[in-house]
Every structure is written in structure tokens, then in C-alpha cells.
Chains A and B, each alone.
Chain A
């Protein structure tokens, strides 16, 4: 049981390049989330998917798109990377059957945009 996995672990991009961050969970959870972590700002929600087939914007969605490919997988895409998107990105999942279930986090992707 791997929990939440993310790929890649590290990535360096040049301004304007695109990339997709992959996330998968094997806990049969309904809900999945993408956060970014920046120094002094905690974690901020980018997008989330309450259930398969649905996605919604979080606090900081600009410059990102997401795809809930199936119940297991939730990807985050940067179409044209900017230095302001340098951050650590975390994917999380939860069962959400009672609205306040624990979120389980992946190990993160450290992204640098030059």
C-alpha cells in the first residue's frame, strides 16, 4: 500500500515551458487535492476534485489546470511556467465520506522555474 505517490520528485523548468505533475493514490479515496507550499505562507489549495469527474478551483488556481483522469489519478499541468510558480507541490487525498476525513499527503514535487 503506497498511499499517495507523486512524480517527479524534482524538476527544473525554463520560463514558458510546460509540464505535468502526476499524482496517484491507492486508498480508493473519492477526493483529491493539489497544494503549493511557499516559505512563510503555509500550504495553499490550487485545485481539488471532490469526486471522480469533478474539479474545482481553490485559493490560487491561476496558471494551472488539472485533470481527474480516474478515481486514482489527479494531474496538475503548468502550461507556461513562470518563476512565481517555483514552489513545492503536494498532492493529497481523502475519503470525504463524512466531510472532515483526514487528508493523506504525497512526498511532494520540488519545482524550480528559471
Chain B
């Protein structure tokens, strides 16, 4: 079956620090990979996605590269802001899977001044 493993939080960083949140996956078939973000009290929203190996997804300064050889999709940002404080979820779907998402457990990020 499909599964997603991401680093546990909370991750606490100072503003302008470099961020990495690790995500690895196990999947049958050829997965598409996603990062969703959940701000306090809100639903999830798509941050970025990649649909095939070596694709790089990017949005709002965040990036993640689909690495098939290491089955990874790590999220990075060069300089975080207080407004990036949220919970980040790595997720995947597989072709023929009805677009059903399999989520990781989420990583809480806290950015301090």
C-alpha cells in the first residue's frame, strides 16, 4: 500500500533561517506528490506539487524536488518568515487510485522573531 513518512515536529526556527522538512514515501504505481499547508484554524491548501520524477514544485519561496531514486520529496525554503508558521503535510496519490490522497502525519513549523 501507499504510505508517507515525514519528520516529526514541532520545528522551531528563527526568522530568515533555512527550512527543510523531510518527506519519504512508499507507493505502488507512479505517485504524484504534494505539500499541503494548514494555517491555524483553517483547512488545508495546496502549497506545491510534482507529478513525475525530477520535477520541482515551487510556490511562495518553497521548493520540493521529486526524487524517485530516494523516494523523497523534501520541502525547503531559504528564508522563513513568521507568517510561514503552520502545519505542513506531505501527501501522494497514485494513478488509478481515484485521486485519493495519502497523507503524512504533518510537521508543525513555528517561526520566531
Residues on A facing B (Cβ under 8 Å): 4, 31, 33, 40-45, 48, 50, 56, 58, 90, 92, 94, 96, 99-108
**Secondary structure dominating the interface of B:** loop
Interchain CA distance A42-B91 in the complex, whole Å: 10
The interface residues of chain A lying within 8 Å CB-to-CB of B44 are 43, 90, 92, 105
Contact yes or no, A99 B43, CB < 8 A: no
Q: Is there an interface contact between B43 and A107, defined as CB atoms closer than 8 Å?
A: yes
A58, A100, A108: the one within 8 Å of B51 (CB): A100
Tally B residues with Cβ within 8 Å of A. Answer: 25
Nearest chain B residue, comparing its CB with the CB of A40: B105
Chain B residues packing against A (C-beta within 8 Å): 4, 32, 34, 36, 41-46, 49, 51, 89, 93, 95-101, 103-106
Residue pair B42, A107 in contact (C-beta under 8 Å): yes
Q: Are B43 and A103 in contact (CB under 8 A)?
A: no
Q: Which residue of A lies closest to B93 (CB)?
A: A100
Question: Which of A33, A41, A92, A99 is in CB contact (< 8 Å) with B105?
Answer: A41
Known: A100-B99, A103-B101, A105-B43. 20 other contacts (CB 8 A): A31-B98, A31-B99, A33-B101, A42-B89, A42-B104, A42-B106, A44-B103, A50-B98, A50-B99, A90-B43, A99-B93, A99-B96, A99-B99, A100-B49, A100-B93, A100-B95, A102-B49, A104-B45, A105-B45, A107-B42
How far does the alpha carbon of A79 sit from the alpha carbon of B104 in the complex, in Å?
A: 29
Separation in Å of the A40 CB from the closest CB of chain B? 6
